[in-house]
Structure 1
Amino acid sequence: MLIFTLFKIDEARHRDLLQAYLQEQHRLDESAYTLRVFPNQFGYSYSLTLDAEPNISYNFYGKRRDGIMHVVYNGYDAKKTIGLRDREFEATNYALLDTLFK
């Protein structure tokens, strides 16, 4: 039970970080999307579905660098549709990755 509680607290912190990132960098309010979390071997992956694009899931994950957690965009999944926010997320992502891996 303790492990589950710690997992939920840690996941909530990461979710808050992602939501703040989406609000600050992309002007996306929480009411404009649905967010699902998936634990993985590196932490958490997030699948973001915008209300305006219900057939597309944008994927993000957390990346820790020098003790600081950063949000990294990891592409999108769609069926015969182009993600309208893909280029925007990628542009921000490249700038972030450039600073993370210098």
Structure 2
Amino acid sequence: MSKTDQSRRIKRRIRPMPRRILKGVVISGKSNKTVVVKVERKFMHPTFKKYITRSKKYAVHDEKNSSKVGEVIRIVECKPRSKTKSWELFKVANTSSSPKDIPEESKRESKK
């Protein structure tokens, strides 16, 4: 292998895979630097042709503890930070104060 071939190989950089970005609602913020985000997705059932909603909860790293329960945020995939955390806060999409987005536990406490 000549010297020019080696230099070409070194200069060529491997591009990382694009990171996934998801949008969800913060449902818990009790841990330090961690929030739990609920992400919903809709898909059509292959047989019945009706839309089905499925949700999944992700543990998200929040370095500044800036997000609160009920906020809609965007999260981005990152290298694993712990056993359960492999997502981090990208940005706060908007602050929602509607009772629909607040978890049931908070509603029960306010009625007492």
Q: Highest CA radius of gyration, 1 or 2?
A: 2
Higher relative contact order (CA 8 A, sep 6+): 2
Question: Which structure dedicates a bigger proportion of its chain to helix?
Answer: 1
Q: What's the TM-score once normalised by structure 2's chain length? A: 0.24
Q: What's the TM-score once normalised by structure 1's chain length? A: 0.26
